[in-house]
Amino acid sequence: MLKIYNTLTRKKEDFIPLNPQAVTIYSCGPTVYDYFHIGNARSFVMSDIVRRYFIYSGYKVKFAMNLTDIDDKIINKANAMGIDSKEVAKKFSDAFFEDIDKLGLLRADINPRATEHIPEIIAMIEALIKNGKAYEVNGDVFYEIRKFDGYGKLSGKNIDNLESGSRVEVNEIKRDPLDFALWKSAKPGEPFWESPWGKGRPGWHIECSAMSCKHLGDTFDIHCGGSDLIFPHHENEIAQSEGATGKPFAKIWMHFGFLNIDNEKMSKSLGNVFNLRDMVKKYKPETLRFFYEQTHYASSLNFTAEALESADRGLEKVNNLFDTVKSALAGKPDSGAHSFDFEKSYLAFKEAMDDDFNSPKAIAVVFDFIKEVNTYIANGDNLTREFYEGALEFLKKTADGVLGILRTEKVENSDSGLEEELIQLLLKLRVDAKLEKNYALSDKIRNELLTLGITIQDTKEGSTYKKNR
């Protein structure tokens, strides 16, 4: 039985999904005003592993990760760049998808964007006003947190102990300094939408409530995100969603630990905030994933060059066995019986992951497996086709399928897609050249592609190509 630590109840719980065959997960995504940093990347990777393990376990998973595409930070960035906020959101949304592809993350089933859910956001705010949980002042709408009895149940904070201005915006027009914005009236030059309260835009917290309920239902299985989001963001999501629907929001809340850089907290003031896009120029994406997975998702993690280099060496052992097994299978070993106990490794892997997605334990199982298989190969006994196929299958299902540290199949990304388009364009140009009897150009295209490791194959049906490396 899978057990998950629930921030809401502060204990590990048996996971019992709302639907026996399906799991619904909402993961807080990026605010698209910049490239995401390596701390964000950890949360994205760990939520990816959670999703992958449910798929491995036979569940149908509906996974939503939002994009916050309207926010103060986006507006400020647009003003600084002298462009429209839509351009900023598009630029960094595109960059987000490029970068998660490099990390080998499975694309979400749904990537809801705040600007595409304004009607749902307005409807939820109207429900909160109707239920006596929110109020309007001069075009602004605020959530009155003292009207929600359960406020603080996720973070453990007491309303009376919260100090105004510590983590919430101070505004004199609010009934209580702790009340937070659901709808912000438009300021000159800012993007806006029409609403019952005039021109304005949604607050950050209400966006996630409206989008998660829209796509996963009023109650869903798991809500996850970084530990820094527990308060006020996730606390406010609960107040909004439950205040509007009267139903429990997410059953389980999972939170991913902080990332420190050389034993110091990441902060712009220290100049130690590094974006993922720059980091993958120095380290392989699989190495970064492997590094994140070596520590339990809820624990803080210290990012150092030495730790990354150690992760790279460890990953090499996994790749070496993968290559050895594939090469052995290419040599067509004999069929027959073997005595290797694969089931033991599968059970140990399941036991590790069922213990609150304990990826360090799961990695240890994979390395024990690698050691045993290497010993088996070194002894040279019963090296049958079934043995090698079993070893390959275990690596594909665990190291690749769940942990995502093996690239057994190339991830389709914008770079590979562009390469395909360019090759097809050159093939078409070569056909045109031959039709025009420009054989010199036709031969030049063929020869230049050959130097790049691409062989053109002319057939009656047309021209195709194959890569030689």
pLDDT in tens, 355-372: 999 999 999 999 999 999
Using the structure block, give the residue that is written with the tokens 């062989």: 455
Q: What is the mean pLDDT of residues 276-282?
A: 92
Residue 219 and residue 249 in contact, taking contact as beta carbons nearer than 8 Å: yes
Instruction: Determine the pLDDT at residue 419.
Output: 73
Q: What is the mean pLDDT of residues 54-74?
A: 97
Q: How large a percentage of the chain has pLDDT more than 70?
A: 93
* Equal CATH topology for 3-256 and 277-400: no
Which superfamily does CATH assign the domain made up of 3-256 to? HUPs (3.40.50.620)
> How far is it, in rounded angstroms, from Cα 233 to Cα 181?
12
pLDDT surpasses 90 at 85:
yes
Residue boundaries of the structural domains of the chain: 3-256, 277-400, 414-467
pLDDT band at 467 (very low <50, low <70, confident <90, very high): low
CA nearest neighbour of 15 among 361, 401, 354: 354
DSSP calls for 380-445: T-S--HHHHHHHHHHHIIIIITTT----SSPPP-HHHHHHHHHHHHHHHHHHHHHHTT-HHHHHHH
281, two tokens: 């120029």
Per residue in 430-441, pLDDT tens?
888 888 889 889
| CATH architecture, domain 277-400 | Up-down Bundle (1.20)
CA nearest neighbour of 301 among 362, 233, 226, 367: 226
Instruction: Determine the pLDDT at residue 414.
Output: 43
CA nearest neighbour of 76 among 118, 46, 34, 135: 34
Lowest-confidence segment of 43-47, 146-150, 164-168, 277-281 by average pLDDT? 164-168
